[in-house]
Amino acid sequence: MSQKAASSTVPITVTEIEEIAKTRLPKNVYDYYACGADEQKALARNSYMFDRLLITPRVMIDVSHVDTSTTVFGKRYPFPVAFAPSAMQRLCHPRGELEAAEAAASTGLSMTLSSQSTTSLEDVADACNISNRDGPDFWFQLYLTQDPKYSRKLIKRAETAGYTALVLTVDTPILGNRINERKTPLVLPEGMQLGNYAPPKQGIKGPATERVYLNAHTVDEANEIIKKAGPTMHSSSLTWQHTIPWLRKVTSMKIILKGIMTAEDAKLAVEHGADAIVVSNHGGRQLDLVPATIEVLPAIADAVAGRIPVIFDGGIRRGSDVFKAIALGADLVLIGRPVLWGLSYDGKKGVEAVTNILERELSRTMTLAGVRNIKEITKDSLGLAKRDGFGIAKL
């Protein structure tokens, strides 16, 4: 095969990497990662609304040197992207979270490890020596469970291992109605288990129990499942008055709230002492018919007014998407599914390919838009395509 022919098989966009991943993953695994809730309108809207945002380039500006770097929590990022928490990554690659973490470390980015990882938080921390690295810190995501003692143990383990922030998911009192996942149920293969939970023989059922809960036909059946599940079912009792104060007593890690979708909740997060928020609709996997995250970002950023970092999650597939999120007020952007597609494509190298693609696309977008650094990316860089399909409106 000629060099020219061989090079044509190398993916050059994140979408192409996803297409390869789809051919390699079992259908139930791909459906688990790719699906949204109910009719998947929120999932689609996350992408659609990016396309309605148009970049308004400025010319005759010296863009011979473009700086994509940024700083969050005092740590320098080569470009404003970090890895979102994504569960059970060994379904995508035999080394799963270890490969993703090593890719984050090699590219100078931050990774948030899911509490529902298939590799223990300690093994990931040891693999990347997270307590003694120069780049951005690693963070740990948590669903508070119905048993505070159980949650406390996980938090203490994460802090001891060297994670510096606790990313508390606040939009999941129960799982969303993920129809595709229900039609092709996901079961962990023989020999694979959740790395941060006790094995099933010790009585911990893990998050798979909640998927069984979705299929309950009656209220009594659902209640019986909850009763058997023990402490690992998601807590539906989080409150502004009690949850953050309790976490402050338990840990000295930074507290980041993931799942903020309104300016009102953003203000409450600041008032109750959150160190940062993540604007997220859980990738369209929880409540359908909600706005796209990019739609609510400007109002949330205005409400926060620079008091804490605003992190954005949802629908990022191109460097131009990163540009748009920064323009509307994000300090940092998370990628979730693209990391999974990269793992499926080529492990650590596949994830590095995803980040390299996004960084190059962001740099090119900034250059062509007449923007020299991240601080120069503002609302003035964008317009909104009018609904009749012709012309743009200022934001």
Flag whether 87 is marked binding: yes
Could you tell me if 174 and 143 are in contact, meaning their C-beta atoms sit under 8 angstroms apart?
A: no
Flag whether 315 is marked binding: yes
Flag whether 227 is marked binding: no
Flag whether 272 is marked binding: no
Could you tell me if 84 and 311 are in contact, meaning their C-beta atoms sit under 8 angstroms apart?
A: no
Flag whether 229 is marked binding: no
Active site residue 65: no
Flag whether 32 is marked binding: yes
Distance in angstroms (rounded) separating the CA atoms of residues 12 and 227: 49
End-to-end Cα separation, the chain, in angstroms: 50
Flag whether 85 is marked binding: yes
Flag whether 114 is marked binding: yes
Phi, psi of 140 (to 5 degrees): -125, 130
The alpha helices in the chain, defined as continuous H runs, are 3-7, 14-24, 27-34, 41-52, 96-107, 121-128, 148-161, 179-183, 208-214, 219-229, 243-250, 263-271, 293-304, 319-327, 337-369
Flag whether 169 is marked binding: yes
Residue from 65, 217, 272, 282 carrying the catalytic annotation = 282
DSSP class of residue 374 equals: G
Angle at 283 between CA 282 and CA 288, to 5 degrees: 80
Flag whether 285 is marked binding: yes
Flag whether 294 is marked binding: no
Q: Give the residue numbers marked as catalytic.
A: 282
Please enumerate, by residue number, every residue annotated as part of a binding site: 32, 85-87, 114, 141, 143, 169, 178, 258, 280, 282, 285, 313-317, 336-337
Q: Which residues are annotated as a binding site for glyoxylate?
A: 32, 143, 178, 282, 285
